[in-house]
Amino acid sequence: MSSDLSIVLLSLQIAGLAMAIVIPSGIATAWLLARKRFRGRFVLEAITTLPLALPPVLVGFVLLWATGSNSWPGRAVNSLFGVDIVFTWVAAAIAAAVVAFPLSVRAFTSAIAGVDSRLEVAARGLGAGPLRVFFTITMPLAYRGILAGVLLGFVRAFSEFGATIVIAGNIPGRTQTVPSAIFTRISTGDDDAVWRLAIVSVVIAVAALATHNYLLRRSDREPERVSS
């Protein structure tokens, strides 16, 4: 039981770091997609959505190639900190962030696009700068949709398996997450452990998805209250 608890805590830690990566980069990407028209927009959309279309194992292989000791990011991290990224919990978080990114960005984009741009224009007309408009107008009006995207991304990061096992492995106590632990327990025939971890996964997923749906319903009703 104690090993199951440590696996769950490590998975939560990995998903938390993954969302710390996704939130700022995802909101910035969503704002560009929702508010700007520029050359190369299709390329940005394609790159953002690509992890959804590719096999997770391939995503993990690309990340392994990009962060391994033979790549310049891997060499840079090794020279600065004296460690390798691959086969660490940080590598697992990077993989989880990459696969969660498209889902979160979609939700972020819808939330930001749902904000009346005339309010932003009016605020800029009154002298507010772009950052002030974003943090005082856009974010407060879009926050429910953004929180929904965070929850959706968190669930996806928590349940990530294919990319994670390629770049981080399945090392007990270091990189073994709930999905990889379930895979190991199935391979060894430990059905009791499988069911314990499965129940934890279902509880976390249901709680996050229920909150996600609640926030989306509140966001849908908000324009009706504003217009009335």
How many Cβ atoms are within 10 Å of 11's Cβ, its own excluded? 28
Note whether residue 18 is domain-resident: yes
CATH of the domain at 116: 1.10.3720.10
Tens digits of residue pLDDT in 165-178: 999 999 998 999 99
* Per-residue model confidence (pLDDT) at position 2: 61
* Per-residue model confidence (pLDDT) at position 196: 92
Note whether residue 67 is domain-resident: yes
Q: Residue 66 and residue 63: Cα distance in Å, rounded?
A: 5
Note whether residue 54 is domain-resident: yes
- pLDDT above 90 covers a percentage of the chain that reads 61
* Per-residue model confidence (pLDDT) at position 228: 47
End-to-end CA distance of the chain: 54
Note whether residue 204 is domain-resident: yes
Q: Residue 75 and residue 27: Cα distance in Å, rounded?
A: 29
Note whether residue 63 is domain-resident: yes
* Per-residue model confidence (pLDDT) at position 222: 59
Residue 141 has phi, psi (to 5 degrees) of: -80, -25
Q: Residue 173 and residue 58: Cα distance in Å, rounded?
A: 25
The separation between CA 34 and the C-alpha centre of its own chain, rounded to angstroms, equals 19
Note whether residue 228 is domain-resident: no
- Can you give the residue range of the structural domain that contains 202? 2-223
Q: Burial, 184: exposed, middle or buried (Cβ in 10 Å; 0-12, 13-18, 19+)?
A: middle
* Per-residue model confidence (pLDDT) at position 85: 86
* Per-residue model confidence (pLDDT) at position 227: 45
Note whether residue 80 is domain-resident: yes
* Per-residue model confidence (pLDDT) at position 79: 78
Tens digits of pLDDT across the chain (228 residues): 568 899 999 999 999 999 999 999 999 999 999 988 888 888 999 999 999 999 999 999 999 988 887 777 777 877 777 778 889 999 999 999 999 999 999 999 999 998 988 998 899 888 888 889 999 999 999 988 899 899 999 999 999 999 999 999 999 989 999 999 999 999 999 999 999 999 999 998 898 888 877 877 776 665 544 444
Number of domains observed in the structure of the chain: 1
Note whether residue 132 is domain-resident: yes
How many Cβ atoms are within 10 Å of 219's Cβ, its own excluded? 21
* Per-residue model confidence (pLDDT) at position 9: 94
* Per-residue model confidence (pLDDT) at position 130: 87
Q: Are the C-beta atoms of residues 93 and 18 closer than 8 Å to each other?
A: yes
DSSP 127: T
